[in-house]
């Protein structure tokens, strides 16, 4: 939703192979179908990613590096606010992990 979906829509309109990295399969699938229908670009893919989980970030990055011949653009757009205080299974504060640590790790893993 929001800025991330707009960016993905624009990239797909430019005929770019676009990977939607979403926490929710259901919401991600709806966005994928909408973007494909609006752009006619079949090369829009959905991959699950929770930037609040470093294990999820590592698995996502490994899959991208394994499956994609190259990565030209990365848009980090994850963000949460107003959540009650929570600790991730990895012992990190949830908001900090989701908004900062996860995207930082993802970027560094994808740099190669």
Average pLDDT in the chain: 96
Whether residues 87 and 69 share a domain: the answer is yes
Look at residues 13, 33, 48 and tell me which one is the last residue of a structural domain.
48
* Residue 96 domain boundaries: 52-111
Q: How many CA atoms lie within 13 A of 15 on its CB side?
A: 0
The Cα–Cα gap between 26 and 82 comes to 23
Instruction: Give pLDDT tens digits for 23-78.
Output: 999 999 999 999 999 999 999 999 999 999 999 999 999 999 999 999 999 999 97
Residue 20: what pLDDT? 98
What was the pLDDT predicted at 67?
Answer: 97
Our count of domains for the chain comes to: 2
Residues 44 and 86 in one domain: no
For residue 34, the model assigns a pLDDT of 98
pLDDT tier at 83 (50, 70, 90 boundaries)? confident
């Amino acid at each position: 939703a929001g800025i991330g979906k707009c960016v993905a829509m624009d990239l797909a309109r430019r005929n770019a192979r676009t990977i939607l990295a979403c926490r929710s399969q259901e919401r991600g699938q709806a966005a994928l179908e909408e973007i494909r229908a609006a752009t006619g670009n079949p090369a829009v893919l959905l991959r699950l990613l929770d930037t609040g989980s470093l294990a999820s970030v590592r698995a996502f990055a490994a899959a991208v590096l394994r499956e994609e011949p190259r990565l030209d653009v990365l848009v980090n757009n994850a963000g949460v606010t107003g959540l009650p205080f929570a600790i991730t299974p990895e012992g990190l504060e949830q908001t900090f992990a989701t908004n900062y640590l996860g995207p930082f790790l993802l970027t560094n893993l994808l740099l190669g």
